[in-house]
Amino acid sequence: MLAIIADDLTGALDTAAPFAGRGLHTEVALRVEAVSEALAERPEVLTINTGSRELDGNTAHQLAAAAVRALPAGTRLFKKIDSRLKGHIVAELDATPFKTALVAPAIPAFGRLVRAGHIEGFGVTTPISVSEKLGPHAARATIPDTLTPGDMEAALEAAEKAGLDLLIGARGLAEALARRMTGRRDATPADIPEGPVLFVVGSRDPITLAQIDELRAAYPLRYLPAPNGHLRDLQADTSPITLVQATPGDTEITPLAVSQNLAEGVCPALTETATTLLLSGGATAEAVLERMGITRFRLLGDCLPGLGLAHAGGQCIIAKSGGFGQPDTLRTIAGNILQKLG
């Protein structure tokens, strides 16, 4: 079994989707406490969300250690890291047993590359040093240039031949590994069902904001701004598309608090009538699903490149990281659903 340990839910899903889309039974534990329940399903790939991106380093270390302890002996490990190297990478690697690692956080298909040991490309204003973010673990790491999917596949093959025992990366490395494990070049897209869609956006990443602008310009929809995540005076509505967006409030609060406020506002008033929920921002996705009582689900694959789709409790769940996707990502999902609704 392959286990992917991620520090937020959107990362857990977009890294696991290449395996699910190529036919491997892929389970997602939304928290460390749900690992045993997910293991009971006997998955080929298990993704664990530690939910530690917005927490302190010590807690991140403890959660990563707990995730490792919950796995059966002999499990192959893939440490998912953010492709722009956010989060508590050193603390989590301190809790991960390994001798040598392949570190390949690039996503070439998304235009995010590693060249000369630095992340560059789409969404990266100034190149980011990979070794600096690894801290003392850089001494045990191989950090190859990965400018193309072919580079990624070659790096993975070389790492396996050299006996490197830990994979550290993001979606690009997951794609290469999924191809290698299954022999399938392409994944089968997961289908978005017909029915009302609820977009809940907590991320303030410029990439997501551009996606919202394009969505709102393309289609008439129910738009609900939520200052600091607070929704007020919800009225009954039959719109096929509802967009809830966290906006700046009168005071500054933490992203985690914004996410909790959003979850409180949309659950169950808006979530219970939606066929599909698209949750943007890892903390937002975690907060909404926790409020819905969902701790584990089976991942089916990508509905669009980089957007994992799962089913839970009779609903379709899509989670998107704030910094992921093209300007037309949200518009495309809305268009697909509206086309089915006629």
Whichever domain contains 254, its CATH number is 3.40.980.20
For residues 137 and 89, membership in a common domain is answered with yes
Amino acid identity, residue 140? R
The closest alpha carbon to 169, from 108, 243, 106, 212, belongs to 106
In angstroms, rounded to a whole number, what is the distance separating the alpha carbons of residues 34 and 264?
22
> pLDDT for 87-136, tens place per residue?
999 999 999 999 999 999 999 998 999 999 999 999 899 999 999 999 99
Domain tally, the chain: 2
Total-model pTM: 0.87
pLDDT at 168 over 90: yes
For residues 164 and 283, membership in a common domain is answered with no
Residue at 169 is within a domain:
yes
Whichever domain contains 85, its CATH number is 3.40.50.10840
> pLDDT for 180-234, tens place per residue?
999 999 999 999 999 999 999 999 999 999 999 999 999 999 999 999 999 987 8
In angstroms, rounded to a whole number, what is the distance separating the alpha carbons of residues 141 and 138?
5
In angstroms, rounded to a whole number, what is the distance separating the alpha carbons of residues 203 and 323?
8
Query: Stretch 62-81: mean pLDDT, rounded?
Result: 98
Q: Which domain holds residue 275?
A: 197-341
In angstroms, rounded to a whole number, what is the distance separating the alpha carbons of residues 113 and 128?
11
The closest alpha carbon to 174, from 155, 202, 200, 198, belongs to 155
**Bridge-based pairing state of the strands 118-121 and 112-115:** antiparallel
Question: pLDDT exceeding 70 applies to what percent of the chain?
Answer: 100
Q: What is the mean pLDDT of the chain?
A: 95
